[in-house]
A and B are shown apart, each in its own frame.
Chain A
Amino acid sequence: MGAECNCNCQADSSKKIDELLSQYRGNPNGLIVVLAAIQQDNGYLPKDLMIRVAEELNVPLTDVYGVATFYTAFTLRPRGRNSINLCLGTACYVKGAPEVHDAIEKELKIKAGDTTEDRRFTFDVVRCLGACGIAPVMTVNGEVHPRMTAEKVSEVLSKYE
């Protein structure tokens, strides 16, 4: 999951999040729903907003942090402009996804789970996208690249700035 963001960026909450916060005021059951909305809006969970969520939903901040670090959908750091997800589900695995994985790491000079320094790419590994028929599968910003090979990595990634 990695360390939290240290860049002191100020993230404003949107109207949607304000509404959700008032809908779940004092109700800890809404924690994941609210965090998911914040993640979607900002691409990560800014510290200030997590503190506000803790106060408004009446959840200890440690619990907010606990939930935020438990689920893979939540990140504490801003992500890259382009998000690569490589499927390492069984079907993709037996059809050569590990080689694609190594090729991406080599190309971007980062490990899975990390973001490149220029924030151009974040590279994550996912477990089964449910598209086993076209394995190995890689998605970039949700765009699907079926039947990936190590050789195709460079060319596919060059399309994303």
Chain B
Amino acid sequence: MSITYQDLEEIRSKAKEKLAARLGKDPADEFKYHVLVCGGTGCHSSGCQAVADTMEKALNDEGLANSTKLIQTGCMGACQLGPVVMVYPGAYHYCNVQPEDIADIVNDHLKNDKFVERLCYRNGKGELQATMPEMDFFKKQHKIALRNCGLVDPVSLDEYVGMDGFAALSKALKEMKPQQVIDEVKNSGLRGRGGAGFPTGVKWQFMADQEADQKYVICNGDEGDPGAFMDNAVLTGDPYSVIEAMTLCGYATGASKGYAYIRLEYPLAIQNFKKALEVCREKGLLGEKILDSDFSFDIEIREGAGAFVCGEETALMASTEGKRGEPRPRPPFPAVSGLFGKPSNINNVETWANICPIVLKGADWYSGIGVGKSKGTKVFALAGMIANSGLVEVPMGTKLRDVVEEIGGGIPDGKKFKAAQTGGPSGGCIPAEHFDTSLDYENLASLGSIVGSGGLIITDEDTCMVDLAKFYLGFTQDESCGKCTPCRIGTKRMLEILNRISKGLGRDGDIELLEELAYMIKQSALCGLGQTSPNPILSTLKYYRDEYEAHIKDKTCPAGVCKIRGAKKATS
């Protein structure tokens, strides 16, 4: 049964009424309250399932099941405060909810209309911030990619459609030529959110310009940077937005088949994405003649098998073909010869999540957000030594200080900010003297770091930068696929040097040797993994050379992290 444009609009107007309570309006459905339990990975890990089960039982026992709608959503963002339960209308945000807290929420809030103060958030100054709009963590955020995450039932097509889902696709199929869709994406200034920052519309144009009997659209869901989990949130919490965006790209570039490559470590994402694919096929939003148009498109899911390098586009395509996930030299670029030797366009999950709003609201709207050549918003995964870790979506150009102090609530235990590490193992660090820097592609590059996939790890005075560099090198060395020599042997040699430095066995000339190796690997490695692997070393050397020297010359670790035999704790 394939739905038509009219069917879609009917579903939408009904769904909008049902969502009214969650969108700041008076409830327009039969439910007095909507109770949302966060089912994101962070909350899942801290036991949200037991909370949801207890809530369901309580609603049944108290006879509230007909007047309260209970939904398990994707990630709401404030992972530190999980398990999170939200009650609408009013967007009351209950933190660290345990099954034994449910009785209070039911009795006070759902029965007597009084919110439960003790479960609400208080900021560092002890001020009560009971609702989501009041919370410092959310105030400065601007959600585009994460617009539906934590607000809707991830696998409910009706709720997605109610949030203007499939409006972009139906607009494109009805009134836009493929080239117009590409132009819209080009003019929006959207750049790849997976790390490289290549203009998305330009990539689409390359593929559209190819003549071929078969082209492929690929979603890169092999989010591997340690410390980054926004793709997980989107795939788990809003799978339809990726499906719709991939379909739009298929229409714009002339592809009829898509692959979504999702890493094995994200079972919830795979489960929800699979379910969403089934629903779309059943409703005719995937398959032959979508929405009664002449356009046909379908998506197949591919589960990764645990290899970081598969996030590199050519490696990902090799893996999709059932081979070892080893990168190959470019050119030819995937747009010319990609998956199965056919023109292919591959985008990151967060990039996909931005597409539908751009097509729906227009390039001007999107390019009005952000700064310079960095348009729109970026999701950062804020973690490490920070009071409120979680997912944070802010306009490009937001100051690092604002993200750390206002959104993140600062460094706990009165410790001092030391550095922010951005871009994971391919990135670098931003030291305290650049605390007021603007988070955008150009600016971070000029500081020797990158936006990358958006990992934002905060370190405090107790973090040793040599140790941090060693951690990242250990990671890339472990994940190097071994195909090219500079990466396979170069990272190994650099790690050996870092190991001896951190043991107090560093030699004169080790720093220079590290630098020489770093530049050589950058120049000669085959793919992004190898080329960027020296960045954590180069960037810590740039700002914390004295720490390296202290390890080598004075045989001390200033932060007291590295175990150096016979070392005195530095007094500085």
Are A and B a genuine interacting pair, yes or no? yes
Contacts A132-B42, A132-B381, A137-B45 known; A126 to B305 CB distance under 8 Å?
no
Number of A-B contacts (CB under 8 A): 131
Q: Which residues of B contact A70 (CB under 8 A)?
A: 307, 324-325, 481
Chain A's nearest CB lies how many Å from the CB of B391? 9
Contacts A29-B321, A73-B305 known; A90 to B384 CB distance under 8 Å?
yes
Could you say which of B266, B305, B478, B479 has the most chain A C-beta atoms within 10 Å of its C-beta? B305
Contacts A127-B475, A131-B45 known; A90 to B424 CB distance under 8 Å?
yes
Q: Which residues of A contact B226 (CB under 8 A)?
A: 88-91, 93, 127-128
Chain A's nearest CB lies how many Å from the CB of B218? 14
User: Does any Cβ of A come within 8 Å of B265's Cβ?
Assistant: yes
Give the interface residue-count category, chain B: 35 or more
Chain B's nearest CB lies how many Å from the CB of A122? 15
Chain B's nearest CB lies how many Å from the CB of A120? 23
User: Does any Cβ of B come within 8 Å of A129's Cβ?
Assistant: yes
- CB contact list, A57-92 vs B, under 8 A: 63, 66-67, 70-74, 88-91
Contact A90 B325 (CB under 8 A): no
Contact A30 B322 (CB under 8 A): yes
**Contact string, B204-236, partner A, CB cutoff 8 A, digits 1/0?**
000000000000000000011111110010000
User: Does any Cβ of A come within 8 Å of B308's Cβ?
Assistant: yes
**Contact string, A133-158, partner B, CB cutoff 8 A, digits 1/0?**
11101000000101000000000000
Chain B's nearest CB lies how many Å from the CB of A52? 16
**Contact string, A32-71, partner B, CB cutoff 8 A, digits 1/0?**
1101100000000000000000000000000100110011
Output the nearest chain A residue to B324 by Cβ-Cβ distance. A70
**Contact string, A90-101, partner B, CB cutoff 8 A, digits 1/0?**
110111000000
User: Does any Cβ of A come within 8 Å of B299's Cβ?
Assistant: no
Interface size on A, residues (CB 8 A): 36
Contact B42 A134 (CB under 8 A): yes
User: Does any Cβ of A come within 8 Å of B306's Cβ?
Assistant: yes
Complex Cα–Cα for A95 and B308 (A): 22
Determine which of B41, B384, B455, B481 lies in contact with A94 in the assembled complex, contact meaning CB atoms within 8 Å.
B384
A-B complex: 5 closest residue pairs judged by Cβ atoms: A133-B79, A89-B226, A72-B306, A71-B305, A130-B229
Binding site for A on B (CB under 8 A): 41-42, 44-46, 79-80, 82, 223-229, 232, 264-266, 302-308, 319, 321-325, 340, 381, 383-385, 389-390, 421, 424, 455, 457, 459, 463, 468, 471-472, 475, 478-479, 481
> Can you report 25 residue pairs joining A to B where beta carbons are below 8 Å apart?
A29-B322, A29-B340, A32-B322, A36-B264, A36-B303, A63-B323, A73-B305, A74-B306, A90-B455, A93-B226, A94-B385, A95-B385, A126-B265, A127-B478, A128-B225, A128-B226, A130-B42, A130-B266, A131-B41, A132-B79, A133-B79, A134-B45, A135-B383, A144-B45, A146-B45
Binding site for B on A (CB under 8 A): 28-33, 35-36, 63, 66-67, 70-74, 88-91, 93-95, 126-135, 137, 144, 146
